[in-house]
Structure 1
Amino acid sequence: MLRLREFSASGYRSLRKIVCPVSELEVFVGGNGVGKTNLYRALELVRAAATNTLGLELAQEGMEAAFWAGARRSGPARIELEASLSDPQARGAARGVYRYHVAIGFPAPTAAAFAAEPQIKEEWLSYDNGERQVRLVDRRGPSVMARDEAGRPIEIDIDLLGSETVLGRLEDPSRFPMLDMVRRTLLEWRFYHDLRTDAGSPLRRPCPAVATPTLASDGANLAAVFATLAHIREDTHDLDAVIAAAFPGARLVVPRPERVATFGMVFSEFPQRVFEPEELSDGTLRFLGLAGALLAYRLPPFIALNEPEASLHPDLMAPLAQLVTQAAERSQVWLVTHSQPLADAIAATGAGKVRTVTKQDGATWIEGLSLIGQFAGED
């Protein structure tokens, strides 16, 4: 799978214009209201382009609310998102950069669309091999050009609504292999911000006993993720170690599943009793959900976490930092947090980059970042 190298967003909420390089582990820390979640959400919208739900998700937010609210240049308001990706295993000419760009705005008065419906104004995918940049896909209004498997530019006859993305609609892997590779990469990304811990949380329920390599975004298959580690891979060393660090004297119990998978916890105070998921505290359950996301059998190529410290005791920041840094050895991790102790615990490991998010004239910014997307002292 491709790795994310750089991300940029402009015109979205508090993101007036920001270009940010991306390492294997990026931690963004800052106070309330500086726009950390907008960074996370803008990146999530790039994935929505691959699922063809970008227009829907912006409509659910409300386009007026989604636009940058500050002063802007003349012309219609637009949200622009861009992600640069490359293959870390490629060598020579194949080690190029794929750049996906999409711009969204309101429909023109004459367009066949609802008045406040998000419309794709511009969309393109390019490939830069270091010597020249080639447009693989170029969409301007209803017109779509794409290069086929032989590299020839051809006009595509596709039934495409203004709210739909080419990335989400053009499905022909054999004919457009590079477009397909970018889309498949984005579809594999996972965003974990809604690991609920209330009584009805999916984390608290059994799930079908199917070998499961990756935690779902809502955590609904957590029991199957644990069962896969325990009974398919037969290796829970890392999982057991982080649980022991987080809850001294406790251990995770994962019965061999039949039709459904489940799990429980045994605590030192009650060594003969297994506490079922519905009995666990919110903090314990949330930590187990994060452990499932970050220690699963197969990690996605990119994991984004939004305030994972929510409902966790301060004593759990060091074990959580351990989880995050272990995951970054197998995947890219993008984390936004209010917790300075969590950021400090990650920084103490020497892994990744810890960035401080601030506001400048109402716009979200990252300390040390230049306008062209470079951090001082970093290549």
Structure 2
Amino acid sequence: MIDRISISGYRSLRSIILRLGALNVVTGANGSGKSNLYRALRLLADAGDGRLVHSLASEGGFDSVRWAGPELITNEMIRGEVPIQGTVRKKPVSLRLGFTSQPFSYSLELGLPQPSQSMFDSDPEVKRECLWRGISMEAKTLCADRRQGNLRCRSAKGKWRDVELPLGTHDSMLSEYADPFAAPELIVMREILRSWRFYDTFRTDADAPARRASVGTFTPIMSSDGSDLAAALQTIREIGDARSLCRAVDDAFPGSQIHIRSSEFGMQLSLQQPGMLRELSAAELSDGTLRYLLLIAALLTPRPPELLVLNEPENSLHPDLIPSLASLITLASEQSQIIVVSHNNALVKELHSDEICVPIRLEKRLGETIIQNANALDQYGWNWPSR
């Protein structure tokens, strides 16, 4: 389970540390930085798949995602005694992402490339990557250490070995190097990051993928767009927690049952409701009903991820469904570590009633996202490895 996540230099996240539990609820006013936190977590996961720089490019490039404020915000600036102004930069421009956990922890630093004649000069370079055992990074706990294009790994006997592999300046060592004998820790960390699952706002419009028939194949993990919803629900019914599935549907829509049928077009979902003379197809379901079924499939997955992140799952849901959603999330937190990003007070209140819930409330101060209850969350601090 992740102990802490640290982000530095990303949009409004100048420097932030989150101390996590099994169930974590991130909330705050509009514009406080909730979406930036969600995106930063996705970027961290992208390091395991080699999509990090491509994802940054899709957000507008390195210049667009960097912290735009001063390098240092002084107490005088906070009190309004002096204006917000830049000073002579003492540290290099960087975007840093990292987390601590058991059995391994990881950090990554991106920076500006050396000027050249390339049209890709705006792509950031990987300046430093570290992977270590346990929570605390010390010289004796480091397993893999990458400085720009140079990578070294520690052997089973504790000796460092330089890896004779030309690493791409834009790619993570996790996606570039795989040796189950010389560096098994890199493979483990790569698979950990790849197991992280993200569900953003599901489409529920008339042409939404979830309203169409899905490919009839075994689906223990529903896709991020819900295009295989019917197959995912049927997989839960056959190899997952079928009782919880039936209970979740009945809890939200009393007396209702879902049906999955196979046809030449694929698997098709329908819902039988009390008093109706026929079943309603996925194309006929209301936005809220369809979204809730998508959330059921995501949260009751028979293959729970290491980390599950839900971004505003309450969208389009009727207020009466919020307690049922909170119960589903709490149930899922028994199998996966969960981060819920939400501004819905009812959902936040329901989740906060659980003893295992860690509340994280964000707010903006001089353009910077900070944690209101930071003293309780970041008292252990964070030391980034130097370049």
1:70 is matched with 69
What residue identity is the alignment partner of 2:45? Answer: R
How does 1:112-151 map onto structure 2 within 5 Å? Answer: 114-128=120-134, 133-151=140-158
Q: Is residue 227–residue 256 contact of structure 1 (8 Å, CA) maintained in 2?
A: no
Match of 1:367 in 2: 372
Counterpart for residue 92 of structure 1: none
TM-superposition CA deviations, 1:340-374 (whole Å, max 9, x none): 11000112233422222212222112221139814
Asked if structure 2 preserves the Cα contact closer than 8 Å seen for 1:213 and 1:299, the reply is no
TM-score (norm 1): 0.89
**1:83 corresponds to 2:99:** yes
The equivalences for 1:172-187 within 5 A come to 172-187=179-194
Correspondence 1:123-272 to 2 at 5 A? 123-128=129-134, 133-233=140-240, 235-255=241-261, 260-270=266-276, 272=277
**C-alpha offsets along residues 24-54 of structure 1, whole Å, 9 cap, x if unaligned?**
0000111110001111111111111111111
| Deviation digits for residues 52-89 of structure 1 (CA, Å, limit 9, x no counterpart) | 111111121121120011111514321110111204xx
SS of aligned partner of 1:227: helix
TM-score, normalisation: structure 2:
0.87
For 1:147 and 1:112, locate their aligned partners in 2 and report how far apart those are by CA, in whole Å.
Answer: 35
Moved more, 355-364 or 47-56: 355-364
Contact 1:213–1:296 under 8 Å retained in 2 = yes
What runs of 5+ residues in structure 1 fail to find an aligned partner? 88-97
For residue 78 of structure 2, what is the aligned residue in structure 1? Answer: none
- 1:133: how far off? 3.7
**1:249–1:128: structure 2 CA closer, same or farther, 3 Å change rule?**
closer
RMSD of aligned alpha carbons: 2.2
Name the stretch that deviates more: 26-35 or 217-226: 217-226
Task: State the Cα distance separating 1:211 from its structure 2 match.
Answer: 2.2
Deviations 1:85-143 (A, max 9, x none): 204xxxxxxxxxx2211111221115967221121121111224878643222111221
Distance 1:179 1:64 in 2: 29
AA aligned to 1:268 is P
1:279 counterpart residue number:
284
Is the Cα–Cα contact under 8 Å of residues 19 and 377 in structure 2 kept in the other structure?
A: no
Q: In the aligned structure 1, how far is the partner of 2:112 from the partner of 2:22?
A: 35
Distance in 2 between residues matched to 1:360 and 1:175, nearest whole Å: 46
| Contact kept? 1:103, 1:121, Cα under 8 Å | yes
**Residue matched to 2:317:** 312
| Structure 1 position 230, deviation (Å) | 2.1
Separation (CA, whole Å) in 2 of partners of 1:309 and 1:129: 33
Are the counterparts in 1 of residues 98 and 108 from structure 2 also a CA contact under 8 Å?
Answer: yes
Quote how far apart the aligned CAs of 1:307 are: 0.6
User: Aligned residue for 1:7?
Assistant: 5
Equivalence map 1:105-116=2 (5 Å): 105-110=111-116, 114-116=120-122
Amino acid corresponding to residue 58 of structure 1 in structure 2? L
Distance 1:140 1:354 in 2: 36
Task: Tell me if the contact between 1:231 and 1:256 (Cα under 8 Å) persists in the aligned partners.
Answer: no
The reply to whether residue 298 of structure 1 matches residue 297 of structure 2 is no
Structure 2 residue ranges without an equivalent (≥5): 73-88, 381-387
- CA contact under 8 A between 1:28 and 1:336: conserved in structure 2? yes
Identity %: 35
CA contact (8 A) 2:237 2:245 kept: no
Deviation at 1:212, TM superposition (A): 2.0
What amino acid is aligned across from residue 86 of structure 1 in structure 2?
Answer: Q
Q: In structure 2, what is the equivalent of residue 356 of structure 1?
A: 361
Cα distance in 1 for residues equivalent to 2:268 and 2:178 = 37
